[in-house]
Structure 1
Amino acid sequence: MSIKSELTKLWNIATSPSYRAARAPYRAFRKEHGSQTPAQFPHVRQGDVVLDIGGYLGDWSADMTKRYGVVSHVFEPNPGFAAAMGERFGDYTDVHVHAYAVGSEDGALELSDQANASSALVNEGPTVKGMVRALGAVSADLALGDVAVIKMNIEGGEYDLLPAMIDSGFMQRVDRLVVQFHKYSSEDVARRDAIREGLSHTHVCEWAYPFVWEQWARKDA
């Protein structure tokens, strides 16, 4: 984070009640879970498959493979980040890096190049091009069966991918989902609510900090 953005955040905290209220779920999450992406899954066993959707630099996959001995498929459409993970995990047999996003259908992305906040929904600053592959083709190509955990942090792409996972029945094979929803407009509140309603048919919400992180468990897991 830049000095300017850090100073802006501190100013908003000091002067804006609405900003402080919006930050409350983040503060509550950090108090309960710490500042890192959730990676505590006691049900996971060695050899289980996990999906790291929005891998960035691969820290979550590295943590999960070290902690539980899982096999991780990492999806990252930003070519620079994907290349960096390719080098990082070049000698790993349990981390597989895929240089594309997963979505409801094949396509292309123009991503804002903003480190771990890179998004196809933000048009400011420099951009890079990425690729999207349809969920069904990805699942077939990788011969995905049961999935122990999906970690999803894709800067707004969740509003396309999660409905496809729900409608196709893919979520019925997923034991745990930990997802970060993103709020770029007021419409995203209703979009999140609709997805949560869809998830509730097969999963229960174990905890939620709105637009920070939330975790869902399959009802029969």
Structure 2
Amino acid sequence: MKNKKAETESSMAEQELSPKQKRRHARQVSAARAEGLMQGMVGLMRPSDVAIDCGANVGTVTQSFARSGALIHAFEPDPVAFEALEINTRGFPNVVRHQAAVGVAASKLDLMRSIDFDAGPLRQTVKSTLVAGSHKVDYDKKNAVSVDVIDFPKHLIGLLDQYEDVAVLKLDIEGAELELLNLLLDRNLLDRIRFIVAETHEKQFRPLAGDYAELRRRVAERYDNTKVFLDWI
């Protein structure tokens, strides 16, 4: 009863906030949820485990994973972010760093940068993408860089051949998660991963909103969000 009352009071208080205050409140709630998820994911891992961080950027999540003692494979294609990832994780011998993007097949593609890339390259690398259609990205190739893309299903199968399962898979790959998650679903490869957390980017790639809705439907048919969580930030 007390919990329901507290939720009602919290909801009423939120309704009284200004739009700016609501956005700040939403960010605080998301940050708290992400921190709780992070603790839960690290709690899943043991030194004998393997975990994968796709879209590692500067290594914040990679470092948290690595503190568990598990073997961590970290993928980051943007050379600006990868340099920071190398520096930030050099104290962790259990981190394997891959300067590459992850995809459904091996290739070499142009990585497109943010429209604001020149104003702060390192900060803006979180928006770098291989996927067309983002309103936040400069597609005239002024700041584009050619990057390697690995065949992620093949890499995942290789790890599963060595380990009983994968403890955690984190995907924050700026739109490329749509095609990759659908393929992993088609091949039943998510079954052998204990926990999958992904940030989907339907707000960034608005023309793909329908495809994202279908992905969410497919995931919900097979898994609950204690197995596959699609609202990572």
TM over 0.5: yes
Relative to structure 1, the CA distance from residue 86 to residue 209 in structure 2 (aligned partners, 3 Å threshold; closer, same or farther) is closer
Relative to structure 1, the CA distance from residue 21 to residue 160 in structure 2 (aligned partners, 3 Å threshold; closer, same or farther) is farther
SS at match of 1:163: helix
> Is 1:169 matched with 2:179?
no
Distance 1:126 1:153 in 2: 21
Distance 1:21 1:160 in 2: 33
Q: How does 1:33-182 map to 2 (within 5 A)?
A: 33=33, 38-41=37-40, 42-66=43-67, 68-90=68-90, 92-113=92-113, 114-121=124-131, 122-124=137-139, 126-142=143-159, 143=161, 145=163, 146-182=165-201
Residues 196 and 228 in structure 2, CA contact (< 8 A), matched pair in contact too: no
Residue in 2 aligned with 1:196?
216
1:198 offset after TM fit, Å? 2.3
1:158-215 CA-partner distances (Å, limit 9, x unpaired): 11211111111211111111111112343333222222222234421149998x527x
Residue in 2 aligned with 1:4?
none
1:86 offset after TM fit, Å? 3.3
1:88 offset after TM fit, Å? 4.0
TM-score of the aligned structures, taking structure 2 as reference length: 0.69
User: Please, which runs of 5 or more residues in structure 1 have no aligned partner?
Assistant: 1-15, 215-221
Question: Per residue, is there more strand in 1 or in 2?
Answer: 1
| Paired AA for residue 40 in structure 1 | Q
Relative to structure 1, the CA distance from residue 24 to residue 180 in structure 2 (aligned partners, 3 Å threshold; closer, same or farther) is farther
Alignment: residue pair count: 194
Residues 112 and 145 in structure 2, CA contact (< 8 A), matched pair in contact too: yes
Q: Which has the larger radius of gyration?
A: 2
Relative to structure 1, the CA distance from residue 194 to residue 177 in structure 2 (aligned partners, 3 Å threshold; closer, same or farther) is same
Residues 25 and 209 in structure 1, CA contact (< 8 A), matched pair in contact too: no
Residues 103 and 164 in structure 1, CA contact (< 8 A), matched pair in contact too: no
| Paired AA for residue 81 in structure 1 | A
